[in-house]
Structure 1
Amino acid sequence: MDSVDTLKEKIDVRALELKVPPLLLTAVFLAAIVAVVFVFPALVFPIPYSRYMSAGLMLAGVSMLLGAALQFRLHHTTLDPRNPAKASKFVARGLFRISRNPMYFGMALVLASVTTWTCNALGFLLVALFCLYLTEFQIKPEEATLEALFGVDYRAYKSSVRRWI
């Protein structure tokens, strides 16, 4: 059986790096989470107080997403995740003190909210796959670019703040 590294060598996974805008990816996973409810109704199970939990997750997710986007705007740096080389500075204040990727974490919380609302067991797996995809094909390439752009300052930030939370 091939190792993951050998498999990566056989398949040029770099072709997927920074290609799919995270908001589009979120929409695709959101549609998949909702579709699973109809395709696999046996995987829907009751979650006590799911509507309240879902509302809290949605509020937290949207707040993180919009709050982090606002911080980017206030610091006059790019919101375009497909070209991190356009970043004029990296933001290390506010939400970025607790997560290097609060926008992506907010997107994951929105997906978790919909999964909780629909009481969908497979949806939680889809949320995990969303996070894995983003980490490999969006976050790691962004980090490499930011490290090249901002050097020791970004490395210090990276060593003191977690990738997700």
Structure 2
Amino acid sequence: MSSKHTLRPNVLPWPPMLLAGAAVASILLGGALPLPALHETWTVWLGGAVVLIGIALDVWAIVTMRRADTNILPTRAADLLVTWGPFRYSRNPIYLANTILLIGIGIAVGNYWFMLCALASALLVDRLAIRREEHHLAARFGADWIDYSQQTPRWLF
């Protein structure tokens, strides 16, 4: 494995770029080519609940990393392999939270492009960021990373 993986996993901050791109694309597509959607009071509440779940997971993961005093930026080297908190259930709780957040927005506002773009964004984050981050973590943490990656799913399953 090349040493570039030990220095930093990504040159560009793909996850926030893709999240923002998915949100903008959803808004534009929702205006130009609206998909059939439910516009009921209960869908607003359901979407709001899903948004809150996404935000809660995001905050939990960020606070966990901050308390571990480790880097959170996708363009910097990992300082520590965090395996507790939400990282017990998903190796990528922040990216999972971002996906959940976009899906919740789509349900709440009745713009189902958010759901489709959330899934496309998750796929791109997986290919452009997560795979590189995993190589980086394997190079930095060796057997500890291997054990963790075999016990904890990349997303949720």
TM-score interval, smaller chain: 0.7 to 0.9
Q: 1:26 aligns with which of 19, 38, 52?
A: 19
Q: CA deviation at 1:158?
A: 0.2
Partner letter of residue 45 of structure 2?
Answer: Y
Q: 2:140 aligns with which of 142, 146, 149?
A: 149
The answer as to 2:105 corresponding to 1:114 is yes
Identify the residue that residue 164 of structure 1 maps to in structure 2.
155
Q: CA deviation at 1:54?
A: 0.8
Q: Deviations over 1:105-159 (max 9, x none)?
A: 1100111011112323333221111110000000010001001100001100000
Distance 2:27 2:36 in 1: 11
Identify the residue that residue 14 of structure 1 maps to in structure 2.
none
Q: Provide the TM-score with structure 2 as the length reference.
A: 0.86
Identify the residue that residue 4 of structure 1 maps to in structure 2.
none
Kept after mapping to 2: 8 A contact 1:34/1:118: no
Distance 2:95 2:11 in 1: 14
Q: Name the % identity.
A: 25
Greater alpha carbon shift after TM alignment, 96-105 vs 20-29 = 20-29
- Indicate the RMSD between aligned Cα atoms, in angstroms: 1.5
The answer as to 2:96 corresponding to 1:93 is no
Greater alpha carbon shift after TM alignment, 90-99 vs 118-127 = 118-127
In the alignment of these two chains, the number of paired residues is 146
Q: Which runs of 5+ in 2 are unaligned?
A: 1-9
Kept after mapping to 1: 8 A contact 2:30/2:111: yes
Partner letter of residue 140 of structure 1?
Answer: R
After the TM superposition, which residues 14-163 of structure 1 pair with which residues of structure 2 at under 5 Å, given as runs? 18-41=11-34, 43-46=35-38, 49-83=42-76, 86-163=77-154
Kept after mapping to 1: 8 A contact 2:38/2:110: yes
